[in-house]
Structure 1
Amino acid sequence: MAKSKFLRFFNLHSGEDKKENVLENVVNNISFRGANLWILACAIVIASVGLNVNSTAVIIGAMLISPLMSPIVGAGFALGVYDFPLLKKSLKNLLIATFVSLLVSFLYFTLSPFKDAQSELLARTSPNIYDVLIAFFGGLVGVIAITRVEKGNPIPGVAIATALMPPLCTAGYGLAIGNFSYFAGALYLYTINCFFICLSTFIIVKYLNYPKVNFVDSNREKKITRVITLIILVLIVPSVYFAYTLLQQKQFAQKVSNFIQNSFTDKGYTVVFERTNYNTNPKKLELAFLIKKFSKEEVEGLKEQLKDYGITNTELIIRQDNNDLKADILNEINKKEQNLSDKDLRIKQLNAELNKYQINTPNLQQNIQVLFPQITSYSIGIQNKIISQDSVNNTISLIYQTDKKLSPEESLKLENWMKIQFPEREVTIIENN
């Protein structure tokens, strides 16, 4: 008795809509004609804009509008009830929707002046096992909601979670810029989502005992089951590989972070530039420091330390500017072999020299953060530009990094603003992304 009550908590037949009503709704929403096609095209444009400007909110809005799930669910229902005319119709409309989506997104990104790969775009180019799980369980939720009398509010959440629109738009972006690795990765993610939503629909339809439309002998039913199993394996194996690669990359990033923290940050060395490249052979770790200079012996010692942190097959590159006058002066100040009187005299001379190269602009950091919030880090200094044997020009150099590339208008605004800050000197702006 207690077991019976417990099982009722998981009974999907409770609150189930009439099967004929569910099937009728599924069939009616499959076709991409008229309004559905216009809605799809508009949703693709919205999603493409969102990916182009890196706006998550806009992308979510496009996913809520999109009617792409209908033919996928229709294919799952068709397989579950062995309605092959319905399966053919569903796949035909899914192909139409896919082609229209690729065409619209391709045209948008071809015409768009901004073609930089934003993080939202890059996130759709390397699918992994987690995308399989999201598509499968998202599809389960969606189909369960479709078969209820009270549909409730899971459908919008399913549209957002399974994310059919962004991969298609990313595939169109890959075509527009001629990057076929982006195109292939995004199309693979889209295929994963489509198939596993279809598979979850098939499972729920079988579980709820929807009646078979056509008589199917046991041999044909087994054949269909084997084909579905084969497709599952074909799609899952590459996604598992991608998930493993992602895990290895995250572990590498964590090891690098520990190495930098223990070897440099904890010792008071300010890291002003850090770049890792996981996809080269060997992998690369590039670092630059504010004032610290490393000898060849120290650099070799640091390379040996990489092994202690489990960082293998990695080339350590430490960028050092030998013309960095400020660092040279500070090193000279710290020389211990000089006697005290010589030191005092030399320090005064060096401090006087150093003052020539100091930049005294009040609230410069706060102003940059307010006016240019995209800039995540920057360094500013003075370089000696030799014009002739007797003429040296002191140039102000600003080197910056951003989480979102500055537009041409913003870059010009930054240059003009720097010229206002230093009206009597030449200004050089360098983006270091």
Structure 2
Amino acid sequence: MAKNGVLNNEELYEKVSTSINIKKENFVILICAIFIASIGLNMNSQPILIGAMLISPLMAPVQGLGLGLGVFDSQLTIRALRLLILEALFAIMTALLYFWLSPLTYASSEILSRTQPTIWDAIIAILGGTAGMIGARQKEANNIVPGVAIATALMPPLCVMGYSIYTQDWSMFFGAGYLFLVNVAFIIIATFIVVRVLHLDFRMQVDTKMERRRHYLMIGAAVLIATPSFISAGNLIQTEMSQQRANRFVTEAMADYYVLNQNIDGHRQQLTLDLLGNKPVGVELEDLVNKLGDYHLENFQLIINQVANNEIIEMQDIDRYIDKKLQSQYTAAPFTMPTEKVSLDKTLSEIKRQLFLVYGSQIKKISTDILSKNKKKTGQVIVTLTQDVTKKQQEQIKVSLDEFITHTDYVIQGTIKKSQ
């Protein structure tokens, strides 16, 4: 009998065992979940992904595997493994079908984030697997198992594998496959540990030697599977540190330029910046290269691409820019200011952005500064134009700058000058 709403060991075994029977209803639910998850990945939407993971039936066979291994039930283990493989293959093929039909094929950030598993994914899987098995003991319905499904994210890696087959990106395929393996393996291990802590009865005669051998096998599998994730975590930390240094470099050393996009490649030791407007050359470029050392980026090569004057931008770059804008829900509108009052610093940044958007090919750089006099802050904008700008163009830029300043809530001094 269950006491205080908690199932006893035999009832827990029956509950998990019954849940891994092959049912056509579960495969229909799986198809729906995969399509929803694929749409979420395609649209770069986390809420849609969460909805897909809530209805996913993938947790049942994973828990069944952990239980089967924990109680030495080979029949239950085989049933659970067979169901997991069938559902995984079914999920990959369904995702492949979706991406074959979808007009959007670029790799969103949600897709890319499922290709580099780290040790943190293993830790989440262990904690999630433990919570999931404890939740399964509850007689009444609860939100623990759905929460585990969201946290461990079994569904998205399978969708990414389907996407990878469609795009024939095998590096992405194996990365997503490894993430799925890490999640499944450590949920199984966590379930195995909970089963042994609860002292569920073995389903066959087991001596101490057999039990010890299985424990060693589980430990060995955990170490073997987790080792690459440790390496990946180290690489991720190094990449994040380099990214932060690059952000500081762009914010401080490149403050007078409008950087549309930045990318740092730790393997190739390259920092690539896409600049709107004229890019620095000669002494200015050399000065920027020398400043890399101030941000611990001395071993990186600085590559600056100019994306103005009708230069060609690759489609994947355009997709990335669109994706970035969709995430921030921000749309550029020349010479408009927000209805709500914003800070002086943001106002100056907006002036700089708008001028680069409209006159990018004629502007070399824009310096902004906040001046303080008698406890009153004022802004300063200094626009440096290229040498080939005509007098008429210079007057037009000056008129636009003055007009834009009048629409702000601050006292801002605007200056136009030509580069020497």
Tell me the TM-score normalised to structure 1 length: 0.70
Cα drift, residue 262 of structure 1: 2.7
- What corresponds to 1:398 in structure 2? none
- What corresponds to 1:8 in structure 2? none
Inter-CA distance 112–311: structure 2 relative to 1 (3 Å threshold): same
8 A Cα contact 2:277 2:362, kept in partner = no
The yes-or-no answer on 1:224 pairing with 2:214 is yes
Number of aligned residue pairs: give it: 331
Structure 1 residues 186-265: aligned runs within 5 Å? 186-265=176-255
The yes-or-no answer on 1:60 pairing with 2:50 is yes
Which of 271, 277, 287 lines up with 1:301 in the alignment? 287
SS of structure 1 residue aligned to 2:272:
strand
Which of 81, 103, 109 lines up with 1:113 in the alignment? 103
- What corresponds to 1:352 in structure 2? 392
Structure 1 residues 93-242: aligned runs within 5 Å? 93-242=83-232
8 A Cα contact 1:54 1:120, kept in partner = yes
The yes-or-no answer on 1:80 pairing with 2:67 is no
SS of structure 2 residue aligned to 1:261:
helix
Cα drift, residue 279 of structure 1: 4.7
The residue type paired with residue 298 of structure 2 is: T
SS of structure 1 residue aligned to 2:77:
helix
Inter-CA distance 181–147: structure 2 relative to 1 (3 Å threshold): same
Encode CA deviations 1:342-384: one digit per residue, 9 max, x unaligned.
Answer: xxxxxxx9543424678969x99xxxxxxxxxxxxxxxxxxxx
Could you say what the CA RMSD is over the residues aligned between the two structures, in angstroms? 3.0
Cα separation, 1, equivalents of 2:127 and 2:7: 21
Encode CA deviations 1:156-183: one digit per residue, 9 max, x unaligned.
Answer: 2111111111111111110111111111
- What corresponds to 2:383 in structure 1? none
8 A Cα contact 1:110 1:177, kept in partner = no
Quick check: 69-78 or 18-27, which moved more?
A: 18-27
The residue type paired with residue 236 of structure 1 is: A
8 A Cα contact 2:121 2:183, kept in partner = yes
Cα separation, 2, equivalents of 1:303 and 1:243: 29
- What corresponds to 1:70 in structure 2? 60
Structure 1 residues 284-295: aligned runs within 5 Å? 284-286=271-273, 288=275, 290=277, 294-295=280-281
The residue type paired with residue 263 of structure 1 is: A
Which of 22, 42, 46 lines up with 2:12 in the alignment? 22
Cα separation, 2, equivalents of 1:25 and 1:282: 54
Inter-CA distance 309–207: structure 2 relative to 1 (3 Å threshold): same
8 A Cα contact 1:83 1:213, kept in partner = yes
Cα separation, 2, equivalents of 1:47 and 1:225: 36
Cα separation, 2, equivalents of 1:16 and 1:238: 38
Tell me the TM-score normalised to structure 2 length: 0.72
- What corresponds to 2:362 in structure 1? 326
Inter-CA distance 288–218: structure 2 relative to 1 (3 Å threshold): same
Encode CA deviations 1:314-347: one digit per residue, 9 max, x unaligned.
Answer: 11134569988734799xxxxxxxxxxxxxxxxx
Quick check: 66-75 or 275-284, which moved more?
A: 275-284
Cα separation, 2, equivalents of 1:210 and 1:322: 68
Inter-CA distance 123–31: structure 2 relative to 1 (3 Å threshold): same
Quick check: 237-246 or 15-24, which moved more?
A: 15-24
Q: Give the greater-gyration-radius structure (CA).
A: 1
Cα separation, 1, equivalents of 2:221 and 2:237: 25
Quick check: 175-184 or 218-227, which moved more?
A: 218-227
Cα separation, 2, equivalents of 1:227 and 1:24: 26
SS of structure 1 residue aligned to 2:362:
helix
8 A Cα contact 1:29 1:70, kept in partner = yes
The yes-or-no answer on 1:277 pairing with 2:277 is no
Cα separation, 2, equivalents of 1:142 and 1:212: 21
8 A Cα contact 1:39 1:65, kept in partner = yes
Cα separation, 2, equivalents of 1:148 and 1:288: 57
8 A Cα contact 2:249 2:295, kept in partner = yes
Q: 5+ residue gaps in structure 1?
A: 1-12, 331-348, 365-433
Cα separation, 1, equivalents of 2:305 and 2:99: 37
Inter-CA distance 112–262: structure 2 relative to 1 (3 Å threshold): closer
Cα drift, residue 295 of structure 1: 4.7
Cα separation, 1, equivalents of 2:82 and 2:361: 69
SS of structure 2 residue aligned to 1:316:
strand
8 A Cα contact 1:72 1:197, kept in partner = yes
- What corresponds to 1:424 in structure 2? none
Cα separation, 2, equivalents of 1:19 and 1:319: 64
- What corresponds to 2:300 in structure 1? 314
State the identity as a percent.
35
